[in-house]
Structure 1
Amino acid sequence: MTILATAIVLGVLIFVHELGHFWAAKAVGIEVERFSIGLGPKLFGFTRGETEWVICALPLGGYVKMGGMDDEVMEKIEGGELRVDSVEALVQSTDRHFDSKPIWARALVLSAGVIMNMLFALSVYTFLAATYGERHYDSTRIGQIVESTLPTGAEELATVDRASRFVRIGAEPVEHWGDIRRALLEGDAGPVRVDLAEPDRSIEIRIPATEAERRSLYESLFVWLESVVGVTDPGTPAGKAGLETGDRVLAVNGTPTAGWYDFVDQIQARPGEQVELSIDRGGSTLVQSLTLDAVEEPALDGRTRMIGRAGIRPSGIDMTYERVSLGEAMATGYRETVAITALILGFLGDLVTGDISPRSLGSIVTIGEASGQAAAAGLETFLSFMALFSVNLAVLNLLPIPILDGGHLMFLAIEALRGGRALSVDQKLRWSNVGFFILIGIMVLALSNDVLRLMGI
């Protein structure tokens, strides 16, 4: 199951990405010599028209080889020999070669793979919403309310206790988190009564008139999460201490945890300290000792503060489904795509700043495990994973690393800034070689992480 699921995920998404390049190249009149799924030596293929369609040995990517794009790095990718005798021969172009086209046309071709991956994700999320319904958290319980982002008129929400439940907002009953979202983002502006339970009480808030303030209000609320370990990041205190998926954190240094956000508050308040976590694991209680990392985080006043970090991510939450129209499904698909894009960009940002360990990077082994788990969970989960991974592929391809789409777009930006004077072929080759080895280094690091993880290190 895992091997088949991985082959489907990688095969489909690589094909979609390269198909974008292929269609765009054809649209602007560029010759396409080869369409490859996979890298390295060719396993098999066929020729149709001017294009050779091939499957290669390494399922780590793919490429569309266009007229005039022969170079040393491409030959390394293809696993063959250079078909030109000198760098100078590379500049001999025709009107159907890539470099003969205007900058806008080349930028379109280079961006088309990313665009196709994003459109694929949007289409899948839209299909899932139209078929299964819009997903909402199957909970009305409050995990946390961020007082600092509440708009004027909604300040009384800050007095609501953690674990309280929304019962009614205005005249509408609240049955799941989607009802809360709808009331705050789409309800009439003005004062509204909010009924709560556990404990029973009512408050009055004002629904803002502007979309920005409505979104700020909604995004100040976080659904209740149990203090249960979902994932431990490799190389972090929790990973080293041996915490496992499904462990329920009962207390930190003897202080009981009231849900996930209370647990996070207790951890963040102890940067660099050794703490003892009381854990429920399969009905047995045990104590795990770990020394927290101390990391720097921006504070609300513009300064920075030191917080503790254990390297734990929470477990999931049950979802419920609500039937929606096609238009609403498309809106849901768009929101999901934007949210996943922001999530991946945030991960990359945290990776750069050191907030997330490089040990979190995974190779094709991790992709395979995740693909297999998603497939085992059912069609909806598998398709959702494919959409997420498609966005991931799009974002990573835009990184400004020579050899990736983002690196080639960077070359075009330099050409545009220089008034149409491109980098020389020799310069592009040197930078592409640098990008090639950077990419290999990242792959080796990711694979090493997986090997160490499988060894329990």
Structure 2
Amino acid sequence: MEVENISSLLITIILLGVLVIAHEFGHFIIAKKNGIWVQEFAVGMGPKIFSRTKGDTEYSIRILPLGGFCRMEGEAEDGASSSTSFLSKSVGARMAVMAAGPVMNFLLAFLMIFGLTCTTYTATPVIKEVLPDSAAAASGLEVGDRIQKIDGKTIHIYDELQYTLQSNHGESLMLDVVDAAGTHHKYKLQPKLDEKQGRYLIGFSPEVKTGLLAESVDGYAKMGIAETARYSLFAMINYVKMTAEGLLRVFTFTANPDEYGGPIAIFNMVGQSYQAGLQYSIKAAIQNVVYIGAVLSANLGVLNLFPIPALDGGRILFLLIEAVRRKPMDIETESKLQFLGFVFLMGLMAFVIFSDIKKYMI
């Protein structure tokens, strides 16, 4: 294996480890807050390669760098008789424990984006230059216009503008803008397909701002802390939205194979981004990896909230049913549903890995 591939593999393993640790720490800390005994905090799956007990919890690293878990007392069997068991706690407490993992992934994604925004340059939905012979020029858009809505959808950040534009597949758009004087306008335009880039373009250059810690550039305004936090929040929400829509297509088998990827695709993406960044600087390489980490963290959070047995969302669904019925689901029934969910996820993972192999190794 080449040095580049070894470094890419190590970086991918570390990145996935950070995402898993954040997710499981969410479960861990809320379980502890609710007096639940967390018997084991594990990163990875399969046989243990490292284990250490501190307090009443065993901390372990396992051989397969995919996934992890918090093993709580009484989680999988009728252990309600113990005051420190998972099942002895209220529905609200158990739901909080299950939701805490995805919430930590969303928080991590936000923090990663915040850090990136502080150290890089960020495009805004404000027009700095209108390109000649473009859709923007034909519609009447002018320098200083801020795009506020596209087809009635509010645009908070430039990424939302691009996502809405590409997902519209070239259909005409209605833009609500505010000009430099504060006057509201509406423009209808027809995006043009750039065949070389394979993207639909409006035809303008956005205004760019510098991050708090980024090197100042003449003509670029600095983003303040509040603006940075606002951008980071909406960027994270945009990743969540894209992930949810993509996963719905995957679970309903309507997705294009190019839309999804498994471990090989992640390794390939991280490696390519890291190596591309190294052509400029180690800082750029790290920024590229952090960006991918933010996207993957949001992906992990959304995936785990899907109401599928064996995922956190499935457990939350069972707890909602318990709250409505005012009695827990039969342990045997829940176990069977969890097993079916696990089989479904393993089948889906096998399909995704097979698609990875076809795309990258055949």
Q: TM-score, normalised by structure 1?
A: 0.60
1:115–1:228: structure 2 CA closer, same or farther, 3 Å change rule?
same
Amino acid at match of 1:104: G
**Secondary structure, counterpart of 1:362 in structure 2:** coil
Match of 2:11 among 2, 5, 30: 5
Are 1:344 and 2:312 an aligned pair? no
Counterparts of 2:132 and 2:237, CA distance in 1: 24
CA contact (8 A) 2:240 2:299 kept: yes
Are 1:97 and 2:65 an aligned pair? no
The alignment's C-alpha RMSD in Å is 3.3
**Secondary structure, counterpart of 2:138 in structure 1:** coil
Q: Please show how residues 62-73 of structure 1 align to structure 2 within 5 Å.
A: 62-70=68-76
CA contact (8 A) 2:209 2:223 kept: no
Q: Please show how residues 192-207 of structure 1 align to structure 2 within 5 Å.
A: 206-207=184-185
In the other structure, the counterpart of 2:261 is: 362
In the TM superposition, residue 384 of structure 1 has moved relative to its aligned partner by: 1.1
Are 1:432 and 2:346 an aligned pair? no
Counterparts of 2:228 and 2:193, CA distance in 1: 26
Q: Please show how residues 234-245 of structure 1 align to structure 2 within 5 Å.
A: none
CA deviations over 1:119-168 (Å, ceiling 9, x no partner): 111111112222224334886449987xxxxxxxxxxx8xx528x87445
**Secondary structure, counterpart of 2:69 in structure 1:** strand
Bigger Rg over Cα = 1
In the TM superposition, residue 407 of structure 1 has moved relative to its aligned partner by: 0.8
Counterparts of 1:455 and 1:128, CA distance in 2: 32
Amino acid at match of 1:416: A
In the TM superposition, residue 442 of structure 1 has moved relative to its aligned partner by: 1.0
Are 1:325 and 2:313 an aligned pair? no
CA contact (8 A) 2:322 2:328 kept: yes
Are 1:373 and 2:272 an aligned pair? yes
CA contact (8 A) 1:35 1:63 kept: yes
In the other structure, the counterpart of 1:161 is: 138
1:402–1:187: structure 2 CA closer, same or farther, 3 Å change rule?
farther
In the other structure, the counterpart of 2:108 is: 120
In the other structure, the counterpart of 2:194 is: 226
In the alignment of these two chains, the number of paired residues is 307
Q: Please show how residues 259-274 of structure 1 align to structure 2 within 5 Å.
A: 260=200
In the TM superposition, residue 39 of structure 1 has moved relative to its aligned partner by: 1.2
In the TM superposition, residue 382 of structure 1 has moved relative to its aligned partner by: 1.4
In the other structure, the counterpart of 2:311 is: 404
**Secondary structure, counterpart of 1:161 in structure 2:** helix
In the TM superposition, residue 320 of structure 1 has moved relative to its aligned partner by: 4.7
Counterparts of 1:134 and 1:98, CA distance in 2: 44
Q: Please show how residues 121-140 of structure 1 align to structure 2 within 5 Å.
A: 121-136=109-124, 140=130
CA deviations over 1:229-252 (Å, ceiling 9, x no partner): 56xxxxxxxxxxxxxxxxxxxxxx
Q: Percent identity?
A: 30
Counterparts of 2:142 and 2:207, CA distance in 1: 17
Match of 1:20 among 22, 26, 29: 26
In the TM superposition, residue 47 of structure 1 has moved relative to its aligned partner by: 0.4
Amino acid at match of 1:122: F
CA contact (8 A) 1:139 1:224 kept: no
Amino acid at match of 1:448: F
1:168–1:53: structure 2 CA closer, same or farther, 3 Å change rule?
closer
In the other structure, the counterpart of 2:56 is: 50
Moved more, 373-382 or 118-127: 373-382
CA deviations over 1:89-120 (Å, ceiling 9, x no partner): x4453111111111111111100011111011
Query: Which ranges in structure 2 are unaligned for 5 or more consecutive residues?
Result: 1-6, 147-156, 162-175, 211-221, 278-284
**Secondary structure, counterpart of 2:115 in structure 1:** helix
Q: TM-score, normalised by structure 2?
A: 0.75
Counterparts of 2:27 and 2:228, CA distance in 1: 28
In the TM superposition, residue 17 of structure 1 has moved relative to its aligned partner by: 0.5
In the TM superposition, residue 334 of structure 1 has moved relative to its aligned partner by: 0.7
Counterparts of 1:413 and 1:427, CA distance in 2: 16
CA deviations over 1:329-369 (Å, ceiling 9, x no partner): 00110110111111112222333555523564321111111
In the other structure, the counterpart of 1:384 is: 291
CA contact (8 A) 1:134 1:332 kept: no
In the TM superposition, residue 260 of structure 1 has moved relative to its aligned partner by: 3.6
1:142–1:111: structure 2 CA closer, same or farther, 3 Å change rule?
farther
**Secondary structure, counterpart of 2:341 in structure 1:** helix
1:91–1:169: structure 2 CA closer, same or farther, 3 Å change rule?
closer
Q: Please show how residues 248-263 of structure 1 align to structure 2 within 5 Å.
A: 260=200
Counterparts of 1:406 and 1:91, CA distance in 2: 22
Match of 1:446 among 328, 352, 360: 352
1:52–1:383: structure 2 CA closer, same or farther, 3 Å change rule?
same
1:93–1:120: structure 2 CA closer, same or farther, 3 Å change rule?
same
1:331–1:224: structure 2 CA closer, same or farther, 3 Å change rule?
farther
Amino acid at match of 1:366: A
Counterparts of 1:346 and 1:222, CA distance in 2: 24
